[in-house]
Structure 1
Amino acid sequence: MSVAMSVFAKALVVVPITLLPILNPIANAPIFLTMTEQIQQGGANKLAKRIAINCFFLLVGAFFIGSYVLDFFGISLPIVRVGGGLIVATAGWGMLNDKGPDQLPTTVAASHPGYWSEEELRRRSFYPISFPLTVGPGTIAASITLGAQLPTKPVDWLITSFASMLGVLVTTLGIFLAYRFAGNLVRFLGDVGATVLLRLSAFILLCIGIEIGWTGFADLIADLKIS
């Protein structure tokens, strides 16, 4: 029983510790608020809930079937890391050097002045906010990596899988809280603090993208040396 509890606790802790630094929902909160500040508060709260649900299913799907999908298409995990790293780094670089975040409120206000329909909420809750802003290629690659490390012994597989799903639930709860209270966070930081956090988040996103891509590139080089 103690071994089973140890396996359960390890899986429960490893998933949030691995995914939350990549997801970084607190740093994404000002971006979320910027994209949704023109809609009603009730709509923004509902959107945060939908995003958390979307992210839960994205992460669980990547965790349990991601490696099989890659095998089916003949795509290796290092390739996913290189491609995902490039996308994440490009997004971070664009946020650092572009005025897009400052222009987002005007764009949203022009197209959806103060109200988003249910269909609009469902559509935008997935793209672009759930994917790729929140759960991007780097997070998916990390989830696939965790899923590929599931034990083969049936009992351990069941325990680890259940604990991992709880870990994903904890992770998505963090996403929901960060987005649900994004306004409180930005008010606490103030305009200057929110701007600094936004730019800092962009720089961290750039660094994460480079790190993910470099890890994949290093794995490819290692495979070439072995062969």
Structure 2
Amino acid sequence: MDYLSYFLTSFATLFVIVDPPGNIPFFIALTEDLPVELREKVSKKATAIAATLLTFIALTGGLILQFFGVSIDGLRIAGGILLFLVALDILKGGPAKEVYVKRGMESKDIDSLAVFPIALPLYTGPGAITAAIVLASEAGNVLGMALLLLSIAAIYLIVRLTHIYSNQIIYLLGKSGADIVARVMAIFLAAIAVEYISEGISGKLSSML
């Protein structure tokens, strides 16, 4: 197994799906009215919850699939379809995310805001969960799994940094620049989705034949 290639693939896949730069405008929209101390509290809690959940999914995803009797190829197909729909939503301007932001802005509970919609589903949604399970199935051994967990930790470290420097990043990119980044990421996300679907179909056909 090429461990470097696996780590880079894991990191790139999760980075595109979690999309830290593309989610900056949504984080700002949800927290712009909060004092700096509360914004930091929301950021730390949301990042910790999102990272912990994805780590847990990566470690237990195989057992979950066995419990529900779902094959990894079936998950690839279903997850690929979900990823493709998410990519289309981003390319159309993210109307689904706008709904999450509206609901989040209506919340008066800081802890609830950190959980929903920031941790879930903005930073650990169905796409990230699917990718984590698929990547875990390809880890092969303990070292491979450790590299996957390292890539997850690196992704959410970047998420945290984008929160800390969110105002500077938005100032540098501008709203249009952030939208462009999000749409470019969406194109790669759609490509990953197609790969998942094709691999899933191929695996299903091979098992049938």
TM bucket normalised to smaller:
0.7 to 0.9
Mapped partners of 1:151, 1:102: distance in 2: 35
CA distances 1:117-168 after superposition (whole Å, capped 9, x unpaired) = xxx333232333323322233322332233334556xxxx3x5555544443
Q: How far 1:98 moved relative to its partner?
A: 5.6
**Structure 2: which 5+ runs fail to align?**
none
1:173 equivalent in structure 2? 157
Q: Any residues of structure 2 matched to 1:1-227 within 5 Å, and which?
A: 15-97=10-92, 100=95, 107=102, 111-112=106-107, 116=108, 120-151=109-140, 157=142, 161-162=145-146, 164-224=148-208, 226=209
Q: Does the aligned pair in 2 maintain the 1:38–1:108 contact within 8 Å?
A: no
Could you say what secondary structure the match of 1:26 adopts?
coil
Q: TM-score, normalised by structure 2?
A: 0.75
Deviation at 1:206, TM superposition (A): 4.3
Question: TM-score when scaled to structure 1?
Answer: 0.70
Partners in 1 of 2:34 and 2:133 — Cα distance?
Answer: 35
Q: How far did residue 69 of structure 1 move?
A: 0.9
Please report how far the alpha carbon of residue 68 of structure 1 lies from its aligned counterpart in structure 2 after TM superposition.
0.8
State which drifts further: 55-64 or 188-197: 188-197
Given that 2:13 and 2:192 are in contact with CA atoms closer than 8 Å, whether structure 1 keeps it comes out as no
Q: What letter matches 2:136 in structure 1?
A: G
Label 1:85 to 1:42 Cα distance change in 2 as closer, same or farther (>3 A): farther
* RMSD across aligned positions (CA): 3.5
How far does residue 92 in structure 1 lie from its aligned partner after superposition?
A: 3.1
Q: Which has the larger radius of gyration?
A: 1
Equivalent position SS for 2:23:
helix
1:74 counterpart letter in structure 2: G
Please tell me whether the aligned partners of residues 84 and 138 of structure 1 are also in contact (alpha carbons under 8 angstroms): yes
Q: Is the 8 A contact 2:87 2:189 kept in 1?
A: yes
Q: Size of the alignment, in residue pairs?
A: 208
Of all paired residues, the percent bearing the same amino acid is 23
Alignment gaps of 5+ in structure 1? 1-5
Local SS of the residue matching 2:34: coil
